[in-house]
Amino acid sequence: MGDVAAARAAVADTFRAEWATVVAYLIRVVGDWDLAEECAQDAFTKAWERWPADGVPTSPTAWLKTTARNRAYDRLRRASVGQTKLKELTVTTPPPEIQEPDQSGVGDDRLRLMFTCCHPALPVEAQVALTLRTLAGLTTAEIARAFLVSEETMAKRLVRAKHKIQDAAIPYRVPPAHQLLERLTGVLAVIYGLFNEGYGASGGADLIRRSLCDEAIRLGRLLVELMPDEPEARGLLSVMLLHNARRAARLDSDGDLVTLEDQDRRLWDRTAIDEGCAVLDQAIRLRLPGPYQLLAAIAACHATAPSSEETDWIEISALYGRLEEINPSPVVALNRAVAVAMADGPSVGLSLIDEIERSGALRGYYLLPATRADLLRRLGRGSAARAAYQEALGLAPTDAERRYLTRRLTDVSEDP
């Protein structure tokens, strides 16, 4: 019984560590994204069945690649349209144990695969979505929430991107070092998307998924080592460090959400804050500003403020204004509205919220009515605040956020 448990634990460990590698290998071999994912899944299923009886292979990854490749070949043999393709693959595909020469200079497997996925022939949004789906293992629903679109819309975008790769015969290969820069924008967005899903999960019982945060920061450090003269790589690392430094204070002992305003700042990781600020200073000295550096500067304002009351909201609102100029998005506009409300008063922020709502850009995004509710509460408009909290409660994606909104709703009284 112990051997069975150990073998299945090995399958689970290999799945977490090598899923992306196996899928990437198959995509390169068969040129079909969906077939690659399906056959990789089949290979792991077979490992779950076989390894307890046969023992864990000496090279689990090579076993999985071979099994998945053979499964793909079988699928192609049964499809009449696959005969020509199969002949080509049989002649040109090296065994999985043979590695292609690496000319990228990227030492980490996952980071190298991210650069592989972020091909400049695809729109950046498609690069990011496909990479999060394939390498990070996020579901289509999670990716859809990150992009503020429906799951159906995101599924269609993923299908279109896969078809473009297949129809245009875009090679799925690690790019050489001189081509890394043209893929950096996509890789930065992927790592930040991975961190954001960990820091504020888009669904489920847990608000924070620590393993995703830690992996994103690890990749951010590697990216800075790889491209030390790229200020946005440092900006990304800085913003992740500064946000992650507050992680221990974001939930109370019952697992309920604690807002930034109410967090116990003694729980913040001061070593991480110091490092995040130092990395930001290094980025700024390179004199090429960008959105990640602005996000890091905003996070630094929060992290270095002695108390909520002493936060420099005027500076934060100015930084959000600059960010909205160079990288406009409805989420940035919402965050700017919050900062303006804190700097100039809730009625001013509420007028900005009204503009966002009229645009319809954040329809279905729970933080929009939640922000409206908070500003209305500060203005003493209890009935309107309760209605907005109820709307936000119906849209909130995680249990922790729903419990927080329920408490807020309970605390707000109707107008006399």
Q: Which residues contact 151 (CB under 8 A, 6 or more apart)?
A: 140, 141, 144
Average pLDDT over the chain reads: 86
Q: What is the largest CA-CA distance in the chain?
A: 80
- Average the pLDDT over 279-302 and give the result: 96
195: left (phi over 0), alpha (psi -120 to 50) or beta: alpha
Q: Which residues contact 137 (CB under 8 A, 6 or more apart)?
A: 19, 20
pLDDT of 317 reads 96
Q: Which residues contact 360 (CB under 8 A, 6 or more apart)?
A: none
The distance from CA 238 to its chain's CA centroid, rounded to whole angstroms, is 16
pLDDT of 24 reads 77
pLDDT level of residue 1 (50, 70, 90 thresholds): very low
pLDDT tens-digit readout, 181-215: 999 999 999 999 889 888 875 555 455 677 788 88
Measure the CA–CA gap between 234 and 275, rounded to whole angstroms.
11
Which domains does the chain possess?
Answer: 2-92 (1.10.1740.10)
Q: Are 207 and 216 in contact (CB under 8 A)?
A: no
pLDDT of 169 reads 73
| Alpha-carbon torsion, ordered 63, 69, 74, 76, to 10 deg | 170
Q: Quote the percentage of the chain above a pLDDT of 90.
A: 46
pLDDT of 76 reads 83
- Average the pLDDT over 239-252 and give the result: 93
Measure the CA–CA gap between 145 and 159, rounded to whole angstroms.
17
DSSP state of 29: H
| Helix, strand, or coil (residue 329) | coil
pLDDT of 285 reads 96
- Helix, strand, coil tally for the chain in percent (to 5): 75, 0, 25
pLDDT tens-digit readout, 51-67: 988 888 988 889 999 99
pLDDT level of residue 2 (50, 70, 90 thresholds): low
| Alpha-carbon torsion, ordered 279, 281, 282, 287, to 10 deg | 140
DSSP state of 413: P
pLDDT at 78 over 70: yes
Q: Are 65 and 14 in contact (CB under 8 A)?
A: no
pLDDT tens-digit readout, 100-152: 555 556 667 678 878 888 888 888 888 889 888 877 777 888 888 888 888 89
User: For 79-225, where are the E strands, in sequence order?
Assistant: none
pLDDT tens-digit readout, 358-370: 998 898 899 999 9
Token readout for 354 is: 């009204």
- Average the pLDDT over 17-23 and give the result: 80
pLDDT of 346 reads 95
- Is 110 or 386 the better-scoring residue by pLDDT? 386
Q: Which residues contact 167 (CB under 8 A, 6 or more apart)?
A: none
